[in-house]
Amino acid sequence: MIRCWGRSLLVKIAIGAVVLFALLSCGVQTAGASDIVIDPSSIGVSFSFDQPKDTAHYETVRTFTIRNTKSDPNSTISGNIGSISGNIDITPSPDSFSLHGGDAVSVSFTIEASPSTPEGSHPFTINVGEEESIIVTVTIIYYAKITLNRSSIDFGRVHRTDNPSETITLREVYGYKGVNVQISRSGNSWVTVSPSSPIWIPANSPREITFTLSPGTPDHNEYSWTFSLSSITSHTTISQSSIDIEAYILMPPKLGKLYDEELEIKFDKPKGTVSKYDRYIDVRVRNEGDETMYFNSRFTEYPSGITIKIDNPSGSVSGKSSENIRLHIVAPYNAPEGTYHGKLFVDAGDAEQGYVDITISIIWPVDFTISPSSIDFGSIELKEKGYEKKSVNLTLTEFYLYKPVRNLRLSKSGEYGNWLKEELDFVKIPPGKSRTITLRIEPGLEAVPKDYSWKYAISASEISAKRMEVKANIIPLNITKMIEGFNAFRGTPLYNNYPSSEVIISNGVEMLEAVERSEIGAEDWKKIPILMKGTLSLLSSLNDGIISSEAKNYGKAVESLWTASVSTSTIESNSELNNWDISGYAKDISAGADKTTEEVLMDEAKMLENRGWDIKKAVEHAIALEDINGLKEEENVLESALSYQYAATIYGPGLLNDKEKRLECTYEESRMMDKHDELVSDATDLRIKAENNISNSKENDLIRIRIGDTHLLLNPYKYDTFSARYGSAERYMEDALKKYKVAGELLMAGNTKEDLIKLRSERRHILSLFFLACILYAAAFIYAINRVIMGTVAYMRDMYEREVGDIVIT
């Protein structure tokens, strides 16, 4: 049932509809030609038939506008819109219109073309209302599409005489029109197409195309062609624009490239131990074709001096493979070193020919052996002027007997490799001969006590380096010489007079022997050389002191004892060692050194003190008797003073440290030196007096002649004063000589003695010249007397004769 309010609503709707219909009926008019405008006035539609005809559907929608041009809104225009049916259907929506003045409406045409519609333009006039129309032009364009069942062909392996063919099907798939297809080829002309281009393909129909391969003469195997597809028919597409064709065409046999061969024969046995060397060369013969190739080979040029045989001079090679021609080379052991050439000819008939150059190089071996294979210099000890130098002879022997070893090169690696020196006096080693290299080691002072090793390498031309190990143990002591030095003190005055020195010697020898066989730390190595050298220095100084003392060279003896004392201190300061094997020896050496040194010092001090006393007494006795002829050469005041001085030195600090004895000896030394100075002063005064007498005599008694700086006694009246002055000078000289001797100034005594001898000689010379002058004086006097007498006799004779003449005349 309908409720009351529902029935009221339905009644109101019905009344409104009746009123509306009445109003419309009163206001609607038929459209006139000048009352509406259609925009646009024509419509063009184009359909591309590019779908398969059986399933194609072509439809589109176009829109236009109808406008009422009247200005009165109450003026209404209405009408119907026409439609088209057939191959082309045009259906409006809506199919009628009713417009008030100034209103417009949009109308859509649904245009549908049947796949069977002919190609071309199809115009249609469609009425709009009673007076107006719109033109719709529908253009149909046929499209074509060509498909291929495949786009490539592979003929596979094709013999030169085969003519295989393959088919490809072309089809037009849209079904609207047939097309002409052009086919163009890239590649050689061995592949042909049937039918020939252009090829007509009906609409929606297949067409087979046959490709035939007719090979020519191939120069390789793999060939390919490309056939391009195109069409002169418009609106045509081809799914695959090209067809790729491949073929592997079997080639006839063809000789591949022949490569020259080289062989190096290096003789590897000593000359004469083998008669020949056999080697082989494989010459590769390749067939680049696919058919079997047959070949023959022979040598057109043979090398001289060696033999080459072909093991397989002929044979066959299957397609695309290779075989080897084996050449057997025989080189006699004495074949000269050098390069040999041969030429092998390979004939493959129609597959061509070729030559192979065979190059054979014969290389003579060269090598050497080294003896010994390693070197151990052993212990290298420190000598006086550096470490000892050792040498080892290395013998190098060439053992192949073919050619000499040249350009020998030596090198070494390792710490301080410059210590190793080589000496060789040859430039090459003849085949099979031996030569010697002297390898010396000369460690520098930078060496530290440890084991050293080096890698020593010897190489030469064509010979790689031969390495050997060189070892040496550096010991900063000359142990051998030191042991000899210790043993040498047995039998010396020191050893004979002081048995305690045996403790020093025996412990020194045993300690050195222990050092040679023990592992010594770096800290001990700093002390051991000083300790050993100090000990030897002590023994040497003590022994030298005793020998010097026995030789009466007391000054040198004291110097040696001082050195011994210093050595004792050195021994003590370096006797504390860490190595238990040798520390006991060091302490015993130190104790023995102290004891022996003290014994020697005490004996020497007493001997010198007693000597000083003995000489002093001998001198005092000689002076008291005024006769020094009984004194020995060393018995003088100075020697006595020196003996006391040396004794005081030994008693003094640093040696025996006996203050009381040192003061006694010093006092006696002082007394003797005072006596020495007194004697020297007196002797000097006497010499001065003698010089004055001689000077006065030369000035007053003698005449100096410039020639030879000679003085002459020419005046007999000066003889007495000359004799007195020279005599007193001689006596002064004699007294001075005695005083100098007693004083111990032997040099001054010697000078005085020389001057005394010179004085005596000069006096004798002057007197001998004086006596000669006296003889001359006498001769002159006798001559004068003789002349006077002879003159007187002559005068008397003359007077007598004159008187006789007067008598005769008268």
Query: For the segment 652-701, what is each residue's pLDDT rounded down to a tens digit?
Result: 888 888 889 889 998 988 888 888 888 888 888 888 888 888 787 777 87
pLDDT at 168: 93
Give the phi and the psi of residue 268 in degrees, each rounded to 5.
-125, 15
Side chain identity, residue 662: R
How many other β-carbons are positioned within 10 Å of the β-carbon of residue 288?
Answer: 22
Q: Which residue has the tokens 């031969």?
A: 466
Chain-centroid distance, C-alpha 287:
53
Per-residue model confidence (pLDDT) at position 22: 40
Quick one: pLDDT at residue 123? 94
Residue 12: pLDDT band by 50, 70, 90 thresholds? low
Pure H helices in 652-745: 659-700, 719-743
Which one of 429-433, 614-618, 766-770 scores highest in mean pLDDT?
429-433
Q: Is the pLDDT of residue 423 over 50?
A: yes
Per-residue confidence (pLDDT) for residue 21, from 0 to 100: 42
**Is the distance from CB of 148 to CB of 244 less than 8 angstroms?**
no
| Residue from 328, 331, 327 nearest 265 by CA | 331
pLDDT at 318: 92
Q: Specify the pLDDT at position 522.
A: 77
Return mean pLDDT, the chain. 86
> Among 705, 470, 498, 473, which residue's Cα sits nearest to residue 597?
498
Contact indicator for 428, 461 with CB cutoff of 8 Å: no
pLDDT at 626 over 80: no
Q: Could you give the angle at which helices 522-550 and 580-625 cross, rounded to 10 degrees? A: 20
List, for residues 96-147, the tens digit of each pLDDT value.
Answer: 988 888 889 999 999 999 998 999 999 999 999 888 889 999 999 999 999 9
Q: Is the pLDDT of residue 33 over 60?
A: no
List beta partners, residue 37. 67
The vertex-458 CA angle with 456 and 464, nearest 5°, equals: 120
Encode 331-374 in three state secondary structure.
Answer: EECCCCCEEEEEEEEEECHHHCEEEEEEEEEEECCCCEEEECCC
Task: Examine the pLDDT at 470 and tell me if it is beyond 50.
Answer: yes
Report the alpha-carbon angle 487-491-492, nearest 5: 95
For helices 554-573 and 637-651, the axis angle rounded to 10 degrees is 10
What's residue 810's pLDDT?
62
Partner residues linked to 679 by β-bridges = none
End-to-end CA distance of the chain: give it in Å, rounded: 264
The arithmetic mean of pLDDT across residues 353-359, rounded, is 94
b (16+ CB within 10 A) / e for 586-622? bebbbbbbeebbebbbeebbebbbebbeebbebbeeb
Under the phi-then-psi rule, with left for phi > 0, alpha for psi from -120 to 50, and beta for the rest, what region is 372?
Answer: beta
Amino acid at 807: I
Count of helix runs (H) and strand runs (E) in the chain: 11, 41
Residue with tokens 């390898």: 439
- Going from the C-alpha of 280 to that of each of 118, 310, 336, 365, 444, the distances in angstroms are 87, 10, 19, 20, 58
Which of 303-307, 329-333, 582-586, 683-687 shows the highest mean pLDDT? 329-333
Residue-level pLDDT at 479: 82
Q: Is 496 exposed, middle or buried (0-12, 13-18, 19+ CB in 10 A)?
A: exposed
Specify the pLDDT at position 27. Answer: 38
Which tokens in the block code for residue 649?
A: 């030195």
Cα–Cα distance between 89 and 111 in angstroms, integer?
6
Q: Using an 8 Å Cβ cutoff, are 281 and 306 in contact?
A: no
Alpha-carbon Rg for the chain, nearest whole angstrom, is 76
Query: Which letter, b or e, does each residue of 713-732 get, where b requires 16 or more Cβ atoms within 10 Å of its Cβ?
Result: beeeebeeebeebbebbbeb
SS3 387: strand
